Structure 1
Amino acid sequence: MKVKEVADLVGISVRTLHHYDEIGLFKPNDTTESGYRVYSKNDLATLQQILFFKELGFPLKKIKEIMESPGFDRNEALEVQRNMLLEKRRRMDDMITMINKTIKNTKGEITMSEKEKFDGFDFSHNPYEQEARDRWGDNAVDDSNEKLGKMSKVQQKELGVEFDVIYKRLATLRHQQPESNAAQEGIDEWYIYLNKVGVYSLDAFKGLGQMYVDDDRFTKNIDKYGDGLAVFMRDAMAIYADNRK
């Protein structure tokens, strides 16, 4: 199949396929005498696996590293991807159930307790754990997991409530200068919170802030609290870290 046929089959743009080719992520085995890309069935299977990884939130650079590693096994990867998607579906189902109950609660059809309002949130699984390991090493992540593991479900849910409160406050401050007293007080709360669930040096804290902007997944989730919040937090976290070194 030629590139336009593959694009139409899969539902992605020709430009995306060209980009995958340019970065070495997905190159067809053959080309025509005229230089046009020709994709085989095996190429399409590879593309499918790339899109599974992408759906799970893996950045393209990481997908390339995984699929080029000597120990990569396609069938094993499919098993892992399936399990990850099943877990993602379970969590989404929990969230949908909670949203439906919340809608009924706001309409006065049912009454939800404060605890029930947060039953769908699950902080026991960190989707960015491997990325954190890659950036800061296993010790920081293991310390965080150990702290969380010692907490009860109630304590974990309380952390979820505190997380939400901190982010909502930061969202109200995002139009101020990141070096302002109010902004720095809000970021100080965030730094203290993170060190309740892990061990973050000032350098790691600053690096985390940069990731909020570099990684679209973080940016989208953070900016749900208010457009531009991720950039504001990055700048405020950098100032906070630099002022305390």
Structure 2
Amino acid sequence: MKVSEVADLVGISVRTLHYYDQIGLLTPAYTDLSGYRVYSDQDLEKLQQILFFKQLDFPLKKIKEIMNDPDYDQNEALEMQRKLLLEKRNRLDQVIKTINKSIRYRKGEVTMSKKEKFEGFDFSKNPYEAEARKRWGDSTVDQTNEKLESMNAQDKKAFQDQFNDIYRELAEIRHIDPASEMAQKEIKKWYDYLNKIGNYPPTVFKGLGQMYVEDERFTKNIDQFGEGLAEFMCAAMEVFADRNK
């Protein structure tokens, strides 16, 4: 199939396919005598894999890295993608329930506690673990994962609740000076929390805060608790780290 035919079939732009070729993510099987890119059935299967990963918010650079791995197994990848997409759907279903209840709350039809307003937001699992490994190495991430895996279901639930509570408390003060006494007192709770489940010295803590604003996916997730929260946390974490070197 030619590039325009693939674009029409899949519903993406010709420009996108050209870009995938340019970065070496998806290079068509060959180019015909007229200079047109021609995609094989194998190319289409690879494109399908790429789009599944994109549905899971994987960056193109990471998709390329995964798919170029000598040990990459397409069947295994499909099983993993299905599992992750089902988890994503379940999370979205819960968020939709929260939205529906919020609409009824705004109409005065039901009452809604502060906690109920954030049901469905689960940040206890980091969907971008690869970025953390790349930036800080395996040790910090592995220690955190080992700590979480050693907990029973009740302890995990308690940690998740504390996680969300800290974010809600920080969201309420996100408009004050990040260097203020109150802001630093609250951000220390986040520092102490992280160090209960891993090893986050001030330099790593500061780097984590920078990721909150450098990676739009983190920003989007964090700002669901309040617009501007990611930027506030980044600034407060930087002040805290510099003061506690």
Instruction: Please give the range of the TM-score, normalised by the shorter of the 2 chains.
Output: 0.7 to 0.9
Contact 1:95 1:120 in 2 (8 A): yes
Once the two structures are TM-superposed, the CA of residue 8 in structure 1 deviates from its matched residue by 2.3
Counterparts of 2:62 and 2:210, CA distance in 1: 18
Q: Is the partner of 2:224 in helix, strand or coil?
A: helix
CA RMSD of aligned residues (A): 3.2
Aligned residues: 243
Q: Which moved more, 1:23-32 or 1:144-153?
A: 144-153
Matched, 1:142 2:161: no
Structure 2 length as normaliser, TM-score?
A: 0.80
- One-letter identity of the residue aligned with 1:4: S
Residue equivalent to 2:29: 29
Distance 1:238 1:37, change over 3 A: farther
Post-superposition Cα deviations, 1:5-54, rounded to whole Å, max 9, x if no partner, equal: 32222122233223222222122222244433332222111111001111
Residues 114-129 of structure 1: pairs in structure 2 closer than 5 A: 125-129=125-129
Unaligned runs of 5+ residues in structure 2 are none
Please show how residues 173-192 of structure 1 align to structure 2 within 5 Å: 173-192=173-192
Contact 1:123 1:156 in 2 (8 A): no
Distance 1:171 1:19, change over 3 A: farther
Q: Give the Cα–Cα distance (whole angstroms) in 2 for the partners of residues 181 and 96 of structure 1.
A: 37
Work out the CA distance in 2 between the residues paired with 1:113 and 1:226.
Answer: 16
**Identical columns (%):** 63
Matching of residues 95-244 of structure 1 within 5 Å: 107-108=109-110, 125-244=125-244
Q: Structure 1 pair 24/231, CA: closer, same or farther in 2 (3 Å)?
A: farther
* Structure 1: segments with no counterpart, 5+ residues: none
Distance apart, 1:66 and its partner CA: 0.8
Q: Give the 3-state SS of the residue equivalent to 1:179 in structure 2.
A: coil
Residues in 2 aligned to 1:25 and 1:114: alpha-carbon distance in whole angstroms: 45
Q: Which secondary structure does the structure 2 equivalent of 1:225 belong to? A: coil
1:211/1:218 contact within 8 Å kept:
yes
Within 2, Cα distance between the matches of 1:238 and 1:76?
A: 40
Q: 1:36 to 1:181 in 2, by over 3 A?
A: farther
Alignment of 1:8-87 (within 5 A): 8-87=8-87
| CA separation of 1:95 and 1:174: change in aligned 2, threshold 3 A | closer
Within a 5 Å distance, the mapping from 1:87-98 to structure 2 comes to 87-93=87-93
| Greater displacement, 60-69 / 218-227 | 218-227
User: TM-score, length-normalised on structure 1?
Assistant: 0.80
What is the CA-CA distance between 1:67 and the residue it aligns to?
A: 0.8
- In the alignment, the residues of structure 1 paired with residue 174 and residue 33 of structure 2 have an alpha-carbon distance, to the nearest angstrom, of 56
Once residues 26 and 169 of structure 1 are traced to their aligned partners in structure 2, the CA distance between those partners, rounded to angstroms, is 45
How far did 1:61 drift? 0.9
Q: Residue 94 and residue 168 in structure 1: after superposition, are their counterparts in 2 closer, same or farther (change >3 A)?
A: closer
In the aligned structure 2, how far is the partner of 1:118 from the partner of 1:239? 28
In the alignment, the residues of structure 2 paired with residue 17 and residue 150 of structure 1 have an alpha-carbon distance, to the nearest angstrom, of 45
Aligned equivalents of 1:102, 1:150: Cα separation in 2: 36
Alpha-carbon distance change, 134 to 171 in structure 1, aligned in 2, over 3 angstroms = same
Alpha carbons 2:123, 2:163 under 8 Å: kept:
no
